[in-house]
Amino acid sequence: MNKDNEQLDALENKVAKALGEDLKALFSPAGRTPDEVDRAVLDATRKRLVRPRRHRWRLVRAGAAAMAAVVLLAVVLNVTRDHVGRMHPAATATAPADIDHNGRIDILDAYKLARRLEGPGALEARWDLNADGQVDRADVDLVAFAAVRLDGGA
């Protein structure tokens, strides 16, 4: 009985050792990669990683240039609009939605008209923008709509 157990243990050790060697062979790398291949892969990877960085800077520069152009355009348009307003005050003062007569129709005009509706002051007939015979909230809405239009509302 004791001898049978020793034989079983020896057989179990032998099978376990063979199984371990088989598993090791199955999951071990196929072979060593030559240094030239390693270097070529690293060089190709570096080139790929460096190139997008250059593109990124180009995009950042293009975005900054576009933003500067937009700011410059806004400044030029604002200066031009102010200049036209000073040179030809009648041209801008006639816009009925320009409640505060500053040459621009903006959300402040809607706010000021709304305040005038609630206040004790007289309402001007030219503020009846929808021509329904009274100056009311609907006219304020029209001023606000004109203020947010992309073409400046004039």
Q: Residue numbers of the site for Ca ion (CB under 5 A)?
A: 98, 100, 102, 104, 109, 128, 130, 132, 139
For residue 69, the minimal CB distance to Ca ion (Å) is: 27
* Cβ proximity to Ca ion, 30 vs 131, nearer residue: 131
**Residue with smaller CB distance to Ca ion, 63 or 152:** 152
The rounded distance, in Å, linking the Cα atoms of 97 and 86 is: 18
Token couple for 153 = 């509302």
- Residue 71 C-beta: closest distance to Ca ion, Å: 22
Question: What ranges in 28-119 are assigned the alpha helix state H?
Answer: 35-87, 89-93, 107-118
Smallest separation, CB 54 to Ca ion (Å): 47
The residue with tokens 């305040």 is: 115
Distance (Å) of CA 36 to CA 28, 76, 77: 22, 60, 61
